[in-house]
């Protein structure tokens, strides 16, 4: 997948080719059509939560995103999305 990311905290954001993510149990895999980079992304990339939560590097910017559900591994309940449906949200 192609994404804007930083390889280290306080690093320079750049467009990278990264491995395709894999959906685990109780997760969705969304093919993102549009993503927004906002102040939270910059703060996380600068290490604002360093020591509070684990840093997974490279850190992909653009936690606000919209796209199409590519794979649904969530046990269906009312309101859950299925493959091919539109998804809009924030990765939190």
**pTM to 2 decimals?**
0.75
Q: Which of the four CATH numbers 3.40.50.10470, 3.90.180.10, 3.40.250.10, 3.50.30.20 does domain 2-90 have?
A: 3.90.180.10
User: Which tops the pLDDT comparison, 63 or 86?
Assistant: 63
Task: Give the whole-angstrom CA distance, residue 84 versus residue 68.
Answer: 6
Please tell me which residue, 27 or 78, carries the higher pLDDT value.
Answer: 27
CA 58 vs. chain centroid, Å, equals: 12
Domain boundaries, the chain: 2-90
Instruction: Tell me the pLDDT tens digit for each residue of 10-46.
Output: 999 999 999 999 888 888 888 999 999 989 899 889 9
């Amino acid at each position: 997948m192609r994404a804007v990311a930083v390889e280290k905290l306080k690093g320079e954001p750049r467009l990278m080719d990264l491995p395709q993510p894999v959906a685990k149990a109780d997760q969705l895999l969304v093919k993102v059509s549009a993503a927004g980079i906002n102040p939270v992304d910059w703060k996380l990339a600068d290490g604002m939560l360093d020591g509070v939560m684990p840093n997974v590097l490279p850190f992909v910017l653009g936690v606000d995103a919209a796209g199409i559900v590519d794979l649904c591994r969530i046990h269906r309940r009312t309101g859950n999305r299925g493959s091919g449906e539109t998804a809009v949200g924030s990765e939190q």
